[in-house]
């Protein structure tokens, strides 16, 4: 494949009509349900137009075809449509098939998904190129919006640099303050473990997903909204429900015909009014904080302002336009921070707990490292956490083997784009969806060696032991991204919260390993629960359980590095 026709599949005028019709059906139906309208005839007329829009969808799908080697097309009639269904059910297998066929030659391939053809880039240099390229050439938020319908689902609160200033807040405010934030996250995490995990004598079976989401969301929100709000169960539930519902709703909406999309969004998400309920709780908090800012004046505010995301968001919003300074818009920033942080970190915690429970021989060496490093660096300091190389390695390995997102850097070409790198020349027409196969890259024997298919907790700490240059060694830390390690994506839109996430994960694991013995239920015969796939997402089994037992060593360890936090509750 050298030359490609530069056909445009960018949204055109027909989509404008489709959107208009869809919103008309939506408003009419909602009014009919709410008894405000009796205009049923109009609705039925519009529903008659649905087959036309079905045909239009087929036309759009066919137009998005790209002339590259394809994978997963089944023989017989409707092969590409059935392939799309296969991708829906088990994307990992289909992508892995393509990766094995084409990655060695550095070739890109295409897969038919239910909604569109997607180009998978396999050459690591081309992956680095799409990760770093300017957004006006290959757009990130445009693809996000096209796939996840953020403009409508999220009521236009995401999508450009003004609307995503919370992303910068993490980079410019949270990450540099990590050392001062850690004690609070640790304390909240520990208290949350104690409140959530109720153990009897001996081994207790625990529905671990429930515990993990609660501990993660409380400890993260200690930093986002501070005390006492981080313990407001109603607010935590709203943040969590919004993230989970939105995640589920967006792919259902994407799969549905355009005419049904607004109605589906309303039924599945908007009618629950989650953002509005969060705002009701958060509005007075923003008001009070803004009053405090005025009362203190600029100098005292800088010196005395509370160290949490509410403060950072207000400071950032005041540099934006008036619209961004409303309590409503600022609340959305907290909703999006929770959206990005809670489900991902909880899922990573679940994976690593399953991994360690399935490989119990790792527990003692990890405990030894934790204790000796905390003895050396004076307890739960940032330095101590950074120097727990084996724990860090287990986290990186767990994310290599089971990254939360199995495809990353999903983008759309904003113009005809010719790659500057790669073994094979590649040119993609404007409007092409492209992505990097994170899971397949992580499973590659060419990159990770003959044992790529084995979970080896100390894979990266063993590698780091042989490296004398600290800068080179730090490239193998759990939070370090590369074109070959994509768990946090890579490049311009890599996860900005990854440093926070890794420190948080380490503290949760330290507590867990020091305080408890942990194992898989005996009927699992040492095998961790299987993952589930839907489109490009991968989920650990959230219905699985683990067994916990108190360790007697805890009595000495809990005060070894000073007063133990949980007693402060």
In Å, how far are 50, 433, 434, 558 from 54, measured between CA atoms? 6, 21, 24, 63
Residue 353 beta carbon to ligand HEM: minimum distance, rounded to whole angstroms = 13
Task: Decide whether 393 or 410 has the Cβ nearer to ligand HEM.
Answer: 410
Q: How many CA atoms lie within 13 A of 195 on its CB side?
A: 20
The enclosing H or E element of 417 equals strand 417-418
Task: Decide whether 26 or 165 has the Cβ nearer to ligand HEM.
Answer: 165
Residue 161 beta carbon to ligand HEM: minimum distance, rounded to whole angstroms = 10
Gap between the Cα atoms of 211 and 284, Å rounded: 30
Answer positive or negative: Cα dihedral of 525, 526, 529, 531.
negative
309 CB contacts (<8 Å, ≥6 apart)?
A: 166, 169, 173, 174, 223, 224, 225, 333, 334, 337
Task: Decide whether 426 or 479 has the Cβ nearer to ligand HEM.
Answer: 479
Structure tokens at 508: 């949760």
Residue 405 beta carbon to ligand HEM: minimum distance, rounded to whole angstroms = 4
Q: Is there a contact between 259 and 53 (Cβ–Cβ < 8 Å)?
A: yes
Residue 135 beta carbon to ligand HEM: minimum distance, rounded to whole angstroms = 10
**119 DSSP β-pair partners:** 110, 434
Task: Decide whether 83 or 540 has the Cβ nearer to ligand HEM.
Answer: 540
- Pick from 213, 211, 215: nearest CA to 188: 215
**495 is an annotated ligand-binding site residue:** yes
Task: Decide whether 25 or 334 has the Cβ nearer to ligand HEM.
Answer: 334
Task: Decide whether 391 or 405 has the Cβ nearer to ligand HEM.
Answer: 405
Gap between the Cα atoms of 362 and 519, Å rounded: 12
SS3 66: coil
Q: Is there a contact between 321 and 162 (Cβ–Cβ < 8 Å)?
A: yes
Task: Decide whether 26 or 488 has the Cβ nearer to ligand HEM.
Answer: 488
Residue 299 beta carbon to ligand HEM: minimum distance, rounded to whole angstroms = 29
Structure tokens at 311: 């403060």
Task: Decide whether 186 or 498 has the Cβ nearer to ligand HEM.
Answer: 498
- Pick from 478, 165, 187, 163: nearest CA to 345: 478
From the CB of residue 568, how many other CB atoms can be counted at a distance below 10 Å? 9
Residue 69 beta carbon to ligand HEM: minimum distance, rounded to whole angstroms = 24
Task: Decide whether 263 or 353 has the Cβ nearer to ligand HEM.
Answer: 353
Gap between the Cα atoms of 469 and 63, Å rounded: 51
Residue 488 beta carbon to ligand HEM: minimum distance, rounded to whole angstroms = 5
Q: What does R_g of the chain's alpha carbons equal in angstroms?
A: 25
Q: Is there a contact between 285 and 199 (Cβ–Cβ < 8 Å)?
A: no
Answer positive or negative: Cα dihedral of 221, 227, 230, 234.
negative
Residue with tokens 């969301």: 217
Task: Decide whether 130 or 263 has the Cβ nearer to ligand HEM.
Answer: 130
Q: What angle do CA 11, 16, 18 make, to 5 degrees?
A: 105
Residue 552 beta carbon to ligand HEM: minimum distance, rounded to whole angstroms = 32
Residue 482 beta carbon to ligand HEM: minimum distance, rounded to whole angstroms = 14
The enclosing H or E element of 85 equals helix 79-102
Pairing of strands 70-71, 117-120: unpaired
Structure tokens at 58: 């087929």
Task: Decide whether 164 or 381 has the Cβ nearer to ligand HEM.
Answer: 164
Residue 497 beta carbon to ligand HEM: minimum distance, rounded to whole angstroms = 2
Q: For the chain, how far is it from start to end, CA to CA, in angstroms?
A: 64
152 CB contacts (<8 Å, ≥6 apart)?
A: 261, 262, 265
Residue 498 beta carbon to ligand HEM: minimum distance, rounded to whole angstroms = 6
Helix/strand/coil (H, E, C) string of 179-190? HHHHHHHHHHHH
Sites of contact with ligand HEM (CB under 6 A): 164, 167, 170, 337, 340-341, 344-345, 348, 404-405, 408-410, 487-489, 493, 495-498, 500-501
| Binding-site residue set | 495
| Binding-site residue set for heme | 495
């Amino acid at each position: 494949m050298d030359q490609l026709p530069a056909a445009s599949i960018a949204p055109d005028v027909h989509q404008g009509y489709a959107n208009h019709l869809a919103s008309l059906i939506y408003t009419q139906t909602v009014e009919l349900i709410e008894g405000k309208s009796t205009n049923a005839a109009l609705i039925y007329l519009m529903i008659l137009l649905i087959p036309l829009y079905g045909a239009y969808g087929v036309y759009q799908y066919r137009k998005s075809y790209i002339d590259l080697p394809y994978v997963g097309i089944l023989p017989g009639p409707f092969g590409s449509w059935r392939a799309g269904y296969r991708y829906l059910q088990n994307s990992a297998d289909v992508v892995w098939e393509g990766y094995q066929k084409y990655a060695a030659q550095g070739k890109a391939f295409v897969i038919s998904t239910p909604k569109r053809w997607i180009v998978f880039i396999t050459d690591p240099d081309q992956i680095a190129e799409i990760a770093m390229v300017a957004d006006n050439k290959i757009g990130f938020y445009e693809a996000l919006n096209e796939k996840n319908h953020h403009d409508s689902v999220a009521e236009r609160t995401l999508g450009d640099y003004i609307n995503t200033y919370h992303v910068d807040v993490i980079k410019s405010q949270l990450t540099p303050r990590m050392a001062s934030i850690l004690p609070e996250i640790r304390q909240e995490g520990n208290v949350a473990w104690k409140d959530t995990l109720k153990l009897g004598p001996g081994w207790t079976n625990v529905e671990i997903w429930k515990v993990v989401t609660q501990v993660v969301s409380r400890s993260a929100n200690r930093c986002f909204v501070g005390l006492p709000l981080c313990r407001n169960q109603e607010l935590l539930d709203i943040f969590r429900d919004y993230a989970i519902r939105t995640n589920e709703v967006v792919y259902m909406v994407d799969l549905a015909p355009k005419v049904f999309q607004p109605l589906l969004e309303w039924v599945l998400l908007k009618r629950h009014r989650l953002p509005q309920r969060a705002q009701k709780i958060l509005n007075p908090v923003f008001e009070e904080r803004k009053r405090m800012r005025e009362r203190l004046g600029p100098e005292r505010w800088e010196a005395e302002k509370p160290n949490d995301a509410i403060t950072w968001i207000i400071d950032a919003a005041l540099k934006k336009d008036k619209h961004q300074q409303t309590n409503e818009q600022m609340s959305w920033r907290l909703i999006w921070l929770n959206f990005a942080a809670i489900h991902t970190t909880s899922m990573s915690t679940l994976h690593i707990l399953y991994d360690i429970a399935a490989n119990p021989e790792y527990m003692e060496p990890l405990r030894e490292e934790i204790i000796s490093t905390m003895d050396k660096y004076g307890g739960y300091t940032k330095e101590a956490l950074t120097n727990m190389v084996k724990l860090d390695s287990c986290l990186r390995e767990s994310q290599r083997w089971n990254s939360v997102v199995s495809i990353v850097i999903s983008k759309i070409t904003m113009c005809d784009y010719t790659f500057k790198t790669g073994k094979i020349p590649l040119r993609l027409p404007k409007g092409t969806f492209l992505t990097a196969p994170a899971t397949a890259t992580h499973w590659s024997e060419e990159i990770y060696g003959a044992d790529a298919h084995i979970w080896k907790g100390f894979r990266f700490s063993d590698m780091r032991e042989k490296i004398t240059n600290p800068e080179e060694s730090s490239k193998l830390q759990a939070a370090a991204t590369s074109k070959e390690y994509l768990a946090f994506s890579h490049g311009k839109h890599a996860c900005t919260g990854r440093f926070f996430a890794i420190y948080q994960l380490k503290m949760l694991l330290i507590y867990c390993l020091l305080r408890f013995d942990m194992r898989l239920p005996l009927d699992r015969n040492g095998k961790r629960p299987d993952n589930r796939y839907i489109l490009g997402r991968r989920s650990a089994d959230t219905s699985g359980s683990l067994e916990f037992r108190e360790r007697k060593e805890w009595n000495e360890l809990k005060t070894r590095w000073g007063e133990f936090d949980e007693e402060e509750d």
